[in-house]
Amino acid sequence: MTNETVPALKGRDFLTIAEFTEEEIKLFLQTAVALKKMQKQGVPHHFLNGQTLGMIFEKASTRTRVAFEVGMYHLGGSALYLSSKDIQIGRGETIADTAKVLSRMVDGIMIRTFGHDIVEELAANADVPVINGLTNTHHPTQVIADLLTIYEHKGKLKGLKACFIGDGYNNMAHSLMEGAAAVGMDMTVASPKGYEPDGAILAAAKSRGLKNDCSIAFTHSPQEAIEGCDIVITDTWLSMGDEAETDKRLHDFQGFQVDDALVTLAKPDYLFMHCLPAHRGEEVTASVIDGAHSIVFDEAENRLHAHKAILKCLMEKN
């Protein structure tokens, strides 16, 4: 493996998919493929030897924490889990002060939080790369793993047709639109009325898609969105923080479940994806998520390889 990926991305922040070119996203994916091969062959790949990643968690996590923590270990470094209950940010210390202090002690910062403005302020005040592990409006590291998984199974990204069925104002819907537009993949989001994507994010993705010869669209019809799709994607109807709206959301999303009837409209060789955790019987039936077309656990594993690629590209010193 060469270090050709390093100069283009070294020292950058990773806040949204939209801030990266198609070529840069390909560098992340190529690096992930190489690192995954090295891991499977038992080849040491300590590209971040002696480095430390500070991981701030204001939202709970399984895949994000494990992927970044194990990823740093595989890369020869270490990771610190920093719960908001354990550090001073949870007691009123400013985000700017936290960024400045951590920058003097760690080599990179990953944060999983609520408002995207928190990540932006952290990055603006940090002297080390800041990685967005999830906010209410964006989940870019997950989408790198998703693109990697699609590429592994389909052998390409450009020209494929994907759909996201569920909450359009969901962080996955936003980042998937940005990712699809960047790599030339058609993407349609289908949501109930009142759950449309952020208008600015949708407009920007549409504009970029036009320049990259692909279509980014929105509809209120799941049937329209899934017609002829190669990739079918959904996510929970109840994101963290939405628990008080459980009854309302379960009512509003009726008709948007990915079930056996709906997927008959996709291509015969469609793939089903879900970033997990999943609620079987709500956004997806067990027969679909546990069926032959589902690649959700390949997708989950690829969080590790994608996150290692992000870490290497941003943090490698030499």
Question: Do 266 and 240 form a contact (C-beta atoms < 8 A)?
Answer: no
Any known ligand binding at 141? yes
Is residue 313 annotated as a catalytic residue, yes or no? no
Any known ligand binding at 140? yes
Any known ligand binding at 88? yes
Helix (H, G, I), strand (E, B) or coil at 157: coil
Is residue 303 annotated as a catalytic residue, yes or no? yes
Any known ligand binding at 175? no
Any known ligand binding at 103? no
Is residue 208 annotated as a catalytic residue, yes or no? no
Question: Do 179 and 143 form a contact (C-beta atoms < 8 A)?
Answer: yes
Given the residues 139, 174, 208, 249, select the one marked as catalytic. 139
Torsions phi, psi for 44 (to 5 deg): -60, 140
Question: Do 61 and 133 form a contact (C-beta atoms < 8 A)?
Answer: yes
Question: Do 218 and 182 form a contact (C-beta atoms < 8 A)?
Answer: no
Given the residues 275, 305, 307, 313, select the one marked as catalytic. 275
Any known ligand binding at 104? no
Is residue 257 annotated as a catalytic residue, yes or no? no
Is residue 259 annotated as a catalytic residue, yes or no? no
Question: In whole angstroms, how far apart are CA 253 and each of 26, 165, 247, 263?
Answer: 35, 10, 10, 17
| Whole-number Å distance between alpha carbons of 62 and 81 | 12
Given the residues 13, 74, 107, 112, select the one marked as catalytic. 112
Any known ligand binding at 285? no
Question: Do 89 and 95 form a contact (C-beta atoms < 8 A)?
Answer: yes
Given the residues 74, 116, 138, 142, select the one marked as catalytic. 142
Q: What is the DSSP annotation of 206-227?
A: HHHHHHTT--EEEES-HHHHHT
Is residue 112 annotated as a catalytic residue, yes or no? yes
Any known ligand binding at 287? no
Any known ligand binding at 153? no
| Whole-number Å distance between alpha carbons of 137 and 119 | 11
Given the residues 12, 74, 303, 305, select the one marked as catalytic. 303
Any known ligand binding at 142? yes
Any known ligand binding at 63? yes
Considering Cα of 179, then 185, then 190, then 193, what sign does the dihedral take? positive
Any known ligand binding at 236? no
DSSP lists the bridge partners of residue 284 as: 258, 280
Tell me the two tokens of residue 180: 């699809």
Question: Angle 36-17-240 (CA atoms, 0-180°, nearest 5)?
Answer: 90
List the binding residues for L-ornithine.
171, 235, 239-240
List the binding residues.
61-64, 88, 112, 139-142, 171, 235, 239-240, 275-276, 303
List the binding residues for carbamoyl phosphate.
61-64, 88, 112, 139-142, 275-276, 303
Residues that are catalytic: 112, 139, 142, 235, 275, 303
